[in-house]
Structure 1
Amino acid sequence: MGPWRCLLLLPLLAVALRAQQQQFMEYVERRLTLLEERISQWYEQSSRYSTELRDFKNQVLGMLETAEKEREAMRSEAESAAVRVDRLEREVDYLETMAPWGDGPGCCITPGLLSPARSRSARVMYHDCSDTIGSVRAMKILKRFGSTSGLWTKDAAGNLEKIYVFDGTANDTVYVFPRMREFTLFSATRKAARIKLPYPWVGTGHLVYDGHLYYIRQQGSFQVIKFNLANKTVVDSSVFPAEEQIPVFGLSPFTYIEVAADEEGLWAIYATKENEKNICLAKLDPTSLDIEQMWDTPCPRENAEGAFVVCGALHVVYNTRLPSRSRVQCVFDVSGTLSPEDASLVYFPKRYGSHSSMKYSPRERQIYAWDDGYQIIYRMEMKKKLEV
């Protein structure tokens, strides 16, 4: 091809190149336009989503604020209701102390018909002992006061209004509240009188009986101290005549002697190394502290956490080391009138740890229990014995 032909093709090539460049630029512009439209759509959608999310957030915050106000209102109403219920319970407790259960026509002795001396010695016989425990009729958690272990009780044969509290398992001071109402107050110790005893007490096996405090003292051997609550003096004391004593309850190792009262008088529940596996029972003379009779019972110490006596029958309460429901699993009747088939296996609807004390009130037919720092009242349902 000659030079002149090349010169003629150059303009044609230039035109073709410009046409391709123009097409490429148009293609790029179209792509950029589409990309800009998509970015614009994405921005609009993002703005709409952000607006909707902000509106939803504001709506949720409004709902949460309303719910919080309603919750505060409900909490205030609940607190107000709790205060009213607590006030009502205190009033009911006060009325109960004014008219104790059992002071009705079912009493088996009328003190007014006896001579003063006989009335004083027999006035604890308020119920017909043809009855025995059938079940726990009701449970009332009164409050939480003091240490995890302790004892609270009333006078088993005297003033039914006063409340006596032994906080802990070793001390020399007893709290005395004039009525149940003062004890249920939040700052209970402010309403309590304090009795400082001449000798410290140990364990949770003490008892208030006919105006006297019978408590356990350890000084080498164990002593039962009889303390007059009116004139604050020691009336009598007695070394417990059981050698090599051991804790009476396997789950309450701080109690060596449990002094108990029932419709028939005063009892001591204890254990010795001589009969290490089982619990022993003794009948006490409340005046002289002499032991009238002793029994080796078939009730084991293992997993026992407490015991009480009802109409001459020892009821031992068992549990496990892991918290569970407490139950009366062994009953020993000293008179033999309560048949094994008639002895109910009573269950206690316990809610916390382990009972450190259980005090039976024969005139009220209820038990004052101390459960992991909570003070509980168990009201008992009685039934007739089926004699052997």
Structure 2
Amino acid sequence: MAGIVACVLLSFVTVVNAQVQTSFMEYIQSRMGVLEDRIAQWHDQSTRYSSELRDFKNQVLKMLENIEKERDSVRNEMENTNIRVDRLEREVDYMETQNPAPPCVDIDEKLTELQISKKKKKEKYEKLTDCSDVISQVNAMKILKRYGSSAGLWTKDPIGNSEKVYVFDGAGNDTVFVFSRMKEFTLSSSTRKAARIKLPFPWIGTGHVVYGGNLYYIRQGDEFQVIKFDLANKTVVDSAVIPIEEQVPVYGLSKFNYIDIAADEEGLWFIYATKENERNICLAKLDPSSLGIEQMWDTPCPIENAESAFVVCGSLYVVYNTKLPSRSRIQCVFDVSGTISSENVPIVYFPKRYGSHSSMKYNPKDKQIYAWDDGYQIIYKLSMKPKEELY
């Protein structure tokens, strides 16, 4: 009997194990089917994403190709525009040359009397050098940077080998910024790298020069005074009251300038104006040592619409503009030796840029003009020719 029971139990256990195995296998097969379905979905999604990515890549490449074509088209249009602008400027220059502005000779009886009465002004000027060049054109222009106020000046010493750059910010101040060389001034975003020289008296206007290690600048008090300041020792070497009565602004478009000191191959000059001759600019030769005036001239160059001036080889060049800034131009020339006049010197135009020049400082050493145009510092390279070629 026990053997029968054992056999029955063994058969029962075998049947149960077979059912469990069958259920387990069915479960495993079911899970594998679910995984296969999910893998198939992932494969389909990956294929779709790859296709979309490929389509997107093709779209981007096509857009980049179109952008490149548009950029080339815009570049060609800009080049054509520049060519047209250059052609237009040449045509304007030609028209202005063919139809020049009214001559800046306006002699009245009062001016004639003044010229006759002032014997010193009529004396023949004795040149100190053999310089005989005249400006023929502005050969090149370089915009260095934008720094400071709309009015100011920057310059170098034409005497000696110093490469220092002196910056005067504003038409009235008492601190001069000094950069050791041109590159340092160009690359500096501020005046932190500049040395500072605090002057004993504030300056007025933008008519100052650095010459032979000294700063010659204008101080306004009860009377206008020229101060000679030693830049190395930082001391006042000399000063003198300017012996010119009833001064008025020398430039119609730069009312802050009463005296403009200029340097050239001959030395130093005063450019000024007085109530006695309100309509025209005057010129005087300055002795750098004694600060005395050696000789004086009344020029035919009008004050109206003048913005700045400078002297080259003993000739005064007056730069004119309009109240609405246009192209600055040298429209009046006065030669103290009487060799040339405005009638036989062509009008020289400066490239149009920002506003008008608050200062233009000629450097006889490198034949360049250091200009301050509405806060921009600009270098003009000049082309020169002998005065004999004008005739």
Partner of 1:318: 320
Alpha carbons 1:159, 1:211 under 8 Å: kept: no
Please report how far the alpha carbon of residue 128 of structure 1 lies from its aligned counterpart in structure 2 after TM superposition: 4.5
Find 2:376's aligned residue among 356, 374, 377: 374
Please report how far the alpha carbon of residue 191 of structure 1 lies from its aligned counterpart in structure 2 after TM superposition: 1.6
Find 1:298's aligned residue among 289, 297, 300: 300
Partner of 2:141: 139
- Structure 2, unaligned runs of 5 or more: 1-51, 69-127
Counterparts of 1:118-137 in structure 2, within 5 Å, are 128-137=130-139
RMSD across aligned positions (CA): 2.7
Specify the code of the residue in structure 2 equivalent to 1:161: E
For residues 322 and 57 of structure 2, what CA distance do their matches in structure 1 show?
54
Please report how far the alpha carbon of residue 214 of structure 1 lies from its aligned counterpart in structure 2 after TM superposition: 0.2
Post-superposition Cα deviations, 1:287-330, rounded to whole Å, max 9, x if no partner, equal 00000111111100000000000111100000001111000000
Partner of 1:210: 212
Partner of 2:189: 187
Please report how far the alpha carbon of residue 60 of structure 1 lies from its aligned counterpart in structure 2 after TM superposition: 10
Alpha carbons 2:254, 2:307 under 8 Å: kept: yes
Partner of 2:252: 250
Alpha carbons 1:133, 1:344 under 8 Å: kept: no
Specify the code of the residue in structure 2 equivalent to 1:374: Y
Change (3 A) 1:60 1:205: farther
Q: Secondary structure at the match of 2:158?
A: coil
Say whether residues 1:333 and 2:332 are aligned partners. Answer: no
Which 4+ runs in 1 deviate beyond 6 A?
57-61, 67-70
For residues 60 and 172 of structure 1, what CA distance do their matches in structure 2 show?
65
Alpha carbons 1:342, 1:385 under 8 Å: kept: no
Alpha carbons 1:158, 1:209 under 8 Å: kept: no
Find 2:225's aligned residue among 223, 226, 232: 223
Specify the code of the residue in structure 2 equivalent to 1:352: Y
Counterparts of 1:1-388 in structure 2, within 5 Å, are 62=60, 66=64, 128-386=130-388
Post-superposition Cα deviations, 1:199-227, rounded to whole Å, max 9, x if no partner, equal 00010000000000000000021100000
For residues 166 and 294 of structure 1, what CA distance do their matches in structure 2 show?
28
Please report how far the alpha carbon of residue 337 of structure 1 lies from its aligned counterpart in structure 2 after TM superposition: 1.4
How many residues of Structure 1 are paired with residues of Structure 2 in the alignment? 282
Q: Secondary structure at the match of 2:184?
A: helix
For residues 249 and 152 of structure 1, what CA distance do their matches in structure 2 show?
19
Change (3 A) 1:64 1:363: same
Specify the code of the residue in structure 1 equivalent to 2:350: F
For residues 174 and 201 of structure 1, what CA distance do their matches in structure 2 show?
10
Specify the code of the residue in structure 2 equivalent to 1:225: I
Post-superposition Cα deviations, 1:118-163, rounded to whole Å, max 9, x if no partner, equal xxxxxxx8x8412111111100011111111100000122344110
Q: Secondary structure at the match of 1:190?
A: coil
Q: Secondary structure at the match of 2:191?
A: helix
For residues 355 and 379 of structure 1, what CA distance do their matches in structure 2 show?
16
Give TM-score scaled by structure 2 length: 0.67
Give TM-score scaled by structure 1 length: 0.68
Alpha carbons 2:334, 2:341 under 8 Å: kept: no
Q: Secondary structure at the match of 1:351?
A: coil
Partner of 1:103: none
Post-superposition Cα deviations, 1:186-245, rounded to whole Å, max 9, x if no partner, equal 424122100000000010000000000000000021100000001000011111111111
For residues 265 and 337 of structure 1, what CA distance do their matches in structure 2 show?
19
Partner of 1:37: none
Q: Secondary structure at the match of 1:276?
A: strand
For residues 283 and 131 of structure 1, what CA distance do their matches in structure 2 show?
19
Partner of 1:92: none
Change (3 A) 1:243 1:64: farther
Partner of 2:24: none
Alpha carbons 2:249, 2:273 under 8 Å: kept: yes
Q: Percent identity?
A: 71
